[in-house]
Amino acid sequence: MMQKNKFQISNIFRNQIFIPLAALILLALFNLIMDPSFFKITMGQNAAGNPVLSGYLITILDYGSELAILAIGMTLVTAASGGQDISVGAGIAITGSVILRMLCGRNSRPDELQMPIICAFLIAVLAGMLAGAFNGLLVSWFKIQPMVATLILFTAGRSIAAWINNNELPIVSEPSFGYYGNFIPGIPIPTPFFIAVAVMIVTALLLKFTNLGLYVQAVGINAKSSRLNGLNPTFIKFLTFVLLGVCVAVAGLIKVSRLSTINYSVVAKDIEMDAILAVALGGNSLSGGKFNMTASIIGAYVIQFLTTTLYKFNVKSTALPAYKAIVVILLVVFSAPVVREFISTKWKQLRSTDKIAKEVA
């Protein structure tokens, strides 16, 4: 780990967090050179007259947050099960639909909310956990490949979401419901960022004060030997899916709060791919084992940074995915252990020849 050889520069390249950080810096540099106004942040007011900060960086913090939340859960699932959950987008549709159903009741355009938002959210968390438990059960108990197991909810989830609300599209007119996806009056930083930070703190505490991180890694590296050491791999895999379910519910709250409504078939579309990419960008092995949570979170913000950059430079809409793919290829190749090892040794060589040159001089 880094702490041991803090001053060896060559080790920076070996550190997992180097890849997402380098990507972030690269993107930032690119924007700085092309147009420094990218980093401008201005203080303004929104339509309700509350102070808000605006600028590209704020946009990244805002929209990257739900991705960061999902990346946290996805990292755990990836590490423990060696596979990914591709149903998180559908899960967001389900949990979002549950929140709206709870708030609106049978009336799709209620004048007042049927219950406090926090209650609706907690019920949605339960729904998210249930969906996660379903996936987790298939993966841990029935030993189905995670991608195949979660394919079920991936396909059915959005229809379930529509069914929960009887295929209506509820709209919440209560302004306080919009706080979670926008701004709390008087606080100029977007709320999703605070929510993401809260989730990060909880995760950090969980990893620090429980053995969750250790157990997850042990199960991911070798489920059999971890069982011989007294762990229960089935339960731990199951647990990670349930935790991802909680993350999905939180992201679902942010998503439906942004517009105070939902569109079942397109809400959080393809977000699972971005979440998996965030994990990969964080240098985590997609086949399970060791993980670095911080790297995943930075990875999530890097993806949003990239999206926002592409929007800013008005990349022709049809070509957008192609650009994204190119950048992704570069990043993934760069994060491959072989390449990193290569760079690290090259750096060492460079240093030693440098020293020799100095000594000779």
Partner 1 sequence: MKKKLLSAIMSVAMAATLLVGCGGSTAPATETAAPATTETTEEKTETAAPATEDAGGKLIKVGIINNDPNESGYRTANDKDLKATFCEANGYDAQFAYSLKNDEQIAAAQKFVQDGVDYLLLSAADTAGWDSVLKDAQNEGIKVILFDRTIDADPSLYEASIVSDMAKEGETAVTWLAGQNLSEYNVIHIQGVMGSAAQKGRSGALDSKVAAEANWNIVTQQTAEWNADNAQQIVQSVIDAGTPFNVIYAENDDMAKGAVAALDKANISHGVGKDVIVMGFDCNKWALEELLAQNWNYDGQCNPFQSSYIDEIIKKLEAGESIPEKTIIMDEKGFDASTITQEDVDNYGI
**Contact positions toward partner 1, by CB under 8 A?**
37, 44-49, 52, 54-56, 59, 63, 109, 158-159, 161-162, 167, 169, 171, 182-183, 255, 258-259, 261, 263-269, 307-308, 311-312, 314, 317-318, 320
Angle at which helix 212-221 crosses helix 191-209, to 10 degrees, equals 80
CB closer to partner 1, 154 vs 264 = 264
CB of 185 to partner 1, least distance (A): 13
Helix (H, G, I), strand (E, B) or coil at 51: strand
- Class of residue 242 by CB neighbours under 10 A (exposed 0-12, middle 13-18, buried 19+): buried
CB closer to partner 1, 5 vs 46 = 46
What is the amino acid identity at position 256?
A: V
CB of 312 to partner 1, least distance (A): 5
260: left (phi over 0), alpha (psi -120 to 50) or beta: left
CB closer to partner 1, 160 vs 297 = 160
Helix (H, G, I), strand (E, B) or coil at 39: helix
CB–CB of 283/335 below 8 Å? yes
CA distance 178 to 163: 24
Phi (first) and psi of residue 42, to 5 degrees? -120, 155
CB of 325 to partner 1, least distance (A): 16
CB of 259 to partner 1, least distance (A): 5
CB of 232 to partner 1, least distance (A): 37
CB closer to partner 1, 52 vs 298 = 52
CB closer to partner 1, 163 vs 342 = 163
CB of 264 to partner 1, least distance (A): 4
CB of 253 to partner 1, least distance (A): 14
For residue 276, count other CB atoms closer than 10 A to its CB. 21
Q: Which two tokens stand for residue 26?
A: 């690269």
CB closer to partner 1, 106 vs 143 = 106
Q: Which two tokens stand for residue 180?
A: 């979670």
Quickly list H helices, the chain: 9-14, 18-34, 56-81, 88-104, 117-136, 146-164, 191-209, 212-221, 223-228, 233-259, 271-281, 293-312, 320-335, 337-360
